[in-house]
Every structure is written in C-alpha cells, then in structure tokens.
Amino acid sequence: MNAGDQHYMQMALELAARAMGRTTPNPMVGAVVVKDGHVVGRGYHARAGTPHAEVHALREAGDLAGGAVLYVTLEPCCHHGRTGPCTDAIIKAQIGRVVLAMTDPNPLVAGKGIQKLTEAGVHVDCGVLEEDARRLNEVFIKYITTRLPYVVMKTAMSLDGKIATAKGESQWITGNAAREFVHRLRDRYDAILVGVGTVLADDPSLTTRLPEGGGKDPVRIILDSKARTPETARVITQSSEAPTIIVTTPGAPPERVRLLREAGARVLEVTGGEGGIDLGVLLHELGRREITGVLVEGGARVNGSFITCNLVDKVNWFIAPKLIGGESAPGPVGDPGITALQDALPIKDIKLHRYGEDICVEGYAVKRSD
C-alpha cells in the first residue's frame, strides 16, 4: 500500500458515501479507474437493482480501462443477483490491477471474487483503508452475516441526565443543529422505532425533514402491544411513501387491530416477551423484510428494553448544556437496570461531535457474549 493507493481509495469511499441510506439491502460501493496517474473513470452504486460501482467506472473509462488500476471499496461480486457479476466486466475491460478496501462478507462472494480475478491474471491487493470501509458499511456487514438489522440508539438528555421534566415536557432539550443531524440519521437508516408512549404523548410525525429537502422517510415502527395507537395519529395519517408498522402482541384487542389496518397502518403481531414484545423476534422479522438498520428513538422504557436484551450496536447520545433537575424527572434508560457496575454496558471507539451548543457522544456497544 502506498500514498497513491490511499488517495484513490479515499476518493472511492467518498463516492460510495453519496448513496448513504439508498442502497438497501446492498452495500455502498465506490470505484475509481486510474490510468498513468490520471482518474479516467468514477462510479458508485446508487440503489439495489441498478449497475454496481465498477460497471459505472468502467463505462466512463471506456478503452482507457485496459491496463489501468481499479480501486474499489468492496470486493467485486462474482455471482448473478439483480445484476451480473462485476468480475466478468473487470476481466473483459482488461484491468491490470485491482485494489480493494475489504473482502465482501456476503457468503456468496467472500473471497470468490478475488479468486476469480486472480485466476484471470489480474493482480489484486486488498486492505487499503479497510477500517474506513468497514465503518462505512457497518449496517450491511451485520445484516449480511446475521440477517438482523443494525440497531442504533439515539437519545437526547440534559447535563444532569434527564430526557424530560417531572411533568413530561421534552420538546426541545437539544437545539436546532442537533435536531437537524437527527433528521440526517433518519435519512440514513431504513427504519425508526419508538414506543406507543411517545406517540400518545407527542403525536410525532417520525419523518425526515432536511433543510435542503430530498430526505428519505424511514419505515416507522411503533411498539404497541395493546394496539393503543390512535387511528388519527400523524404516524398513520400523514402523507409519506414509507409505511407505518404497528407491532402488537396476541393480546391486542382485535377491534383495535382492525381499526388500525383500516386507517392504513400495517399491523405486525409478535409473540409477547416478558413485559411486552419480544424484541429479538421482532428484529428477526424486520430482517426478513430487508430492513437492515433501525434507529431507536424511544423513551426510557424502550431504551432500557433494548439494552437489557443486548441488542444495541451503536449509540448517538446527545447532551444539552442545561439542567432540569427533579427526582421524578425521567432519565434516558428505564427498566430495572443493573445492580453491579461490572455489568454496565461499555461503549467503545468514542467520538465526540458538537452541534451548536450540544454534544453528541457516538460509540459502539460492547455486546455481552452470554
């Protein structure tokens, strides 16, 4: 690996990121073709079912691809899916060298693409900016290897750890800049999840609203074991291309379920776990529906349930520089909690971001192995 390889791979990663939140269930991939020190082709995968990054880059390069170097953020596919194998296009274009950021965790590829290129006489180098590539596609990596969605927990609290006043007022703890970034998170992930308590208290829209427009609404998932969501709630009645899924249990009143369906909501019945909905079963069902990433924006009870069930992959924890106080004012994590500090959920690879006067702690949950 040399400085040139890193430079062009960084360019490919930036291309890949242009499709953030748009490629589900596929990964984000960028590609750059370099000939004699000049970029002659660029491309990225825009959405599932459309040509892959390599194909776009090779088309732009044309005859200049012969003997050139192809930089790709992910191992090229070698199987027939919604599109043809990229390895065939690379070999046909007579690319001389392929530089990869990482191998493809998809079992259908997983080294087979590299093998096919090598057997055709193409020199392959792998591992350039690999960690950056893995972070970019962290959602895809979990989904393709487990068939479970990646779970990101977002919450906002005051400096003294309160998410609302003692009387329940919570809008708004953070400022405009932080709330704008939350909408960018919604634009990035396939689904947003809250509990019915949030719907009853705030009647939120749970849509994506970006200053420049063009945001993608996430699928709205409401945990509602007794089907208490009003048919007039904005999550159901508003105009949005994304559906609303009300997750209930067998104990939900059939009449309430019928009314929700008639109002336009999709109702998903999940076997009740201890104290409500079995979140593990729910995530398996969402994965089956090709929902690869879920942004949890729940209150204390929902947050506590996800943490207790060991289901959180990443956190975006906003802290506003204000003090609320009150012994009865809720904190961000409910449920019984832990009794010993050694059982606390560690967060690693911490990054701090500032949005206006607010701080966001971004990090990754260290999963329990038991």
309 is an annotated ligand-binding site residue: no
206 is an annotated ligand-binding site residue: yes
108 is an annotated ligand-binding site residue: no
87 is an annotated ligand-binding site residue: no
Paired residues of 245 in beta bridges: 221, 266
Instruction: Identify the three-state secondary structure at position 271.
Output: coil
275 is an annotated ligand-binding site residue: no
Q: Is 357 a catalytic residue?
A: no
Contacts of residue 152, Cβ cutoff 8 Å, sequence gap at least 6 = 185, 189, 293, 294, 295, 296, 312, 313, 314, 315, 316
299 is an annotated ligand-binding site residue: yes
269 is an annotated ligand-binding site residue: no
89 is an annotated ligand-binding site residue: no
239: number of Cβ within 10 Å: 6
Q: Which of 54, 119, 138, 362 is catalytic?
A: 54
209 is an annotated ligand-binding site residue: yes
Query: Residue 237: phi, psi to the nearest 5?
Result: -90, -20
Query: Residue 197: phi, psi to the nearest 5?
Result: -60, -40
244's tokens: 């609303």
Report how far Cα 336 is from the mean position of its chain's Cα atoms. Answer: 28
Query: Residue 276: phi, psi to the nearest 5?
Result: 155, -135
- Cβ atoms of residues 139 and 19 within 8 Å: no
42 is an annotated ligand-binding site residue: no
18 is an annotated ligand-binding site residue: no
Residues placed in the known binding site: 52, 77, 86, 156, 170, 172, 186, 198, 202, 206, 209, 225, 297, 299-305
Annotated binding site for NADP(+): 156, 172, 198, 202, 225, 299-305
Which residues are known binding-site members for Zn(2+)?
52, 77, 86
Would you name the residues annotated as active-site residues?
Answer: 54
Q: Which residues are annotated as a binding site for substrate?
A: 170, 186, 206, 209, 297
